[in-house]
Amino acid sequence: MMQLTCRFRLYPSRAQERKLLAALDQCRWLYNHFLEKLNQKEDGRTPSRYKLQATLPKLKQEHPELKQVHSKVLQMVLHHLYSNLRALTGLKRNGRKVGRLRFKGRGWFKSFTYSQSGFKITEGHGKRRELWLSKIGPIPIVTHRDINGETKQVHIKREHSGKWFACFSVKVEATSKLKKISKPVGIDLGIEHYIADTDGNFVEHPHNITKSEWKLKREQYRLSRKRKNSKNWVKQCTKLALIHERIRNQRLDFLHKLSRDYVDDYDFIATEDLDVKELIEKAHNGKNRADAAWATFLHMLTYKAERAGRWVVKVEPRGTTDRCSKCDEVVEKPLWMRIHKCPRCGLELDRDLNAARNILQDGLEQVGWEPAEFTPVEIGPLLARASSAVEAGSPLR
């Protein structure tokens, strides 16, 4: 079994949006209330989640406005709080210096969750249906795909742009992995080429932030000219959030198409086990590394391959660029040198393609399969996978 999340757009009326915002505000108040209780813990011991959860009925009597929120939603607020607390504890155990959990100010609580009950989707015409939420009512929703599997919970979220979304957590059956590898591929992730694979395919970096940077600068400048918390300031915040949302959607669209393309075409995919956070924190080119979203791509590739019964193997990236893929000779070269030339065996090819071959060899050895054989590749114009290099909104997918 594996858990997937399906995200759909909600279209609430003004009256329904007021109810959603009121539910968000009550959840925020409850989160802050229980966080204060944790800060006032007796004998230095943190009370259990279920002990605090048992105080909810009494709290509803003291604050009748909490009755306007479904009981499961209130319980999930506690689950959210204790999940944050466990995350902080884990960071402390790893030697990280962390502070305390912060109280949520107005506008900083963006979501609430219905777990197991209090929601259902009613039938409609085509993609347009209605999501019924307890204490709120039926809200129009566009389901662009069928929800296959057992729905465990629904996460209602309000984005900074003011849009509402429903995220369904669904449990589905995972397909067993193929026993025979017939079409393997190794991929190298980079900046100049987002992907170079062992079949000689190159995918160019989309550079979403660079393309929209002038829009961000313009709207950020306009925001700086507004008086904070004024109506014009709030409107400008929404405009800026819409640009950030568009950039994120373009990036996710590219990554979803690219990962789906590789999972459909290959049954064994070897890739680098990158420490993306460390790479972003390096002195140079951090913006392009962050815009590449390598961690997101590897996550998409992994869960889609698991669902389709494919293999995804991550290997140690150290040395894959300098090692010759034909004779294992170490040929050190600076970053600006884009061609791998081996003085021992005479192999000459693109450095990213050489790295992709080494990654595939290491991945096959890791699972105990025979090394792959490669046909000679001539240095020539770089090719791009047609279905992967399309921008967001393309009709190809």
Residues above pLDDT 70, as percent of the chain: 91
H or E element that contains 42: none
Phi-psi region of 37 (alpha: psi -120 to 50; beta: other; left: phi over 0): alpha
Virtual CA dihedral for 269, 271, 277, 280, nearest 10 degrees? Answer: -120
Query: Mean pLDDT throughout 55-76?
Result: 92
pLDDT tens-digit map of 261-318: 999 999 899 999 888 888 887 767 778 888 888 899 999 999 999 888 888 999 888 8
| 315 touches 273 (CB < 8 A) | yes
Q: What are phi and psi of 212, to 5 degrees?
A: -105, 10
Tokens of 174: 């995972």
User: Is 66 within 8 Å of 59 (Cβ atoms)?
Assistant: yes
Handedness of CA 251, 254, 258, 260 (dihedral sign): positive
Concatenate the DSSP letters of all residues of 305-325 into one string: HHHHT-EEEEE--TTTTTB-T
Question: For position 43, what pLDDT does the model report?
Answer: 65
At 132, the amino acid letter reads W
| HSE-up of residue 68 (Cα within 13 Å, Cβ side) | 15
Predicted pLDDT of residue 370: 67
Q: What is the pTM of this model?
A: 0.83
